[in-house]
Amino acid sequence: MTQMFRCDLNDLVQYYTGLIILLIIYGITINYLSLPNIGIYVVWFSFTLILIAIKEGNPINFLGLNLNKKTIFLFLIGSIIAVIIQITILLVMILINVSNIIYAFSPDMSFSMFKGLMITGFIAVSEEIVFRGYPIRKMKECANEFSILLITGLIFSLFHISNPGYNFNAFIFLIIANILLGKLIIDSKYLWASIAFHFTWNFVEGYVLGLPISGFISRSTIFKIELRGNKLITGGVFGIEASLVSIIIFVLALVIYSLVKKIKL
């Protein structure tokens, strides 16, 4: 049997401990200074980049954020996969009669949409660097692919535990989503495909379709998807990321990805 770990992971344990400590400090501070929720991403993002710069050297090289002729291709691949999966989920929900689409956009929402673009973009970059880019790079010489994806997935999912509507389905979905994004990173050796997927998924979900983004609802949206029926199917407050439909389709996406993996990224 392939050995799961082949070296010391103390650095990674200390890293995750640091993220938790920063989260607790920020959580306490936010009550007194009325700081925005997105601030924790700024803190985690800065902490991770500083740590990489001190211990690993150039963060761009270490994380796989180099700009080259593959960058646009990888970004397009990540975005296309995200859109295809979301459309598939939505079509299934329409077919089983648990969703209804309402056109909701108005011209005066343009600034809010731009703001949403910036927010989802920053969160996508931050989460990919903090929860996948750095940990996967640190673990690649210490663990096999299965353990890398499982451990980063468990931690990524548990860091969402305070999100509105987080439940067992959301826990499982986030692990599966992490596996797909993690494989994009490992196979391509860059972060661009996973960043593109994450950004496209969140922006389309929250600001185009009007669905909750892991429990958080955008006020500005082009459409408004109304979900009705059993929460196991619709995802409830957390959104489609806690839906059995999404879990099944993401598993199928992983199977399909494995079958076409011969296409070199």
Burial of residue 136 (CB within 10 Å: 0-12, 13-18, 19+) is buried
pLDDT in tens, the chain (265 residues): 345 555 567 888 999 999 999 999 988 887 777 767 788 999 999 999 999 999 999 999 999 999 988 999 999 999 999 999 999 998 898 888 766 666 656 656 677 788 888 999 999 999 999 999 999 999 987 788 888 999 999 999 999 999 999 999 999 999 999 999 999 999 999 999 999 999 999 999 998 888 889 988 887 788 778 888 888 888 989 999 999 999 999 999 999 998 887 665 5
Q: In angstroms, rounded to a whole number, what is the distance separating the alpha carbons of residues 164 and 173?
A: 15
* Domain residue spans of the chain: 10-259
Provide the residue type at 92 as one letter. V
Distance (Å, rounded) from C-alpha 35 to C-alpha 44? 15
Nearest Cα residue to 45 out of 121, 138, 149:
121
Length of the chain in residues, anyone?
A: 265
Tell me the C-alpha distance between 142 and 164, whole Å: 35
Separation CA 190–CA 197 (nearest Å): 13
Is there a contact between 151 and 172 (Cβ–Cβ < 8 Å)?
A: no
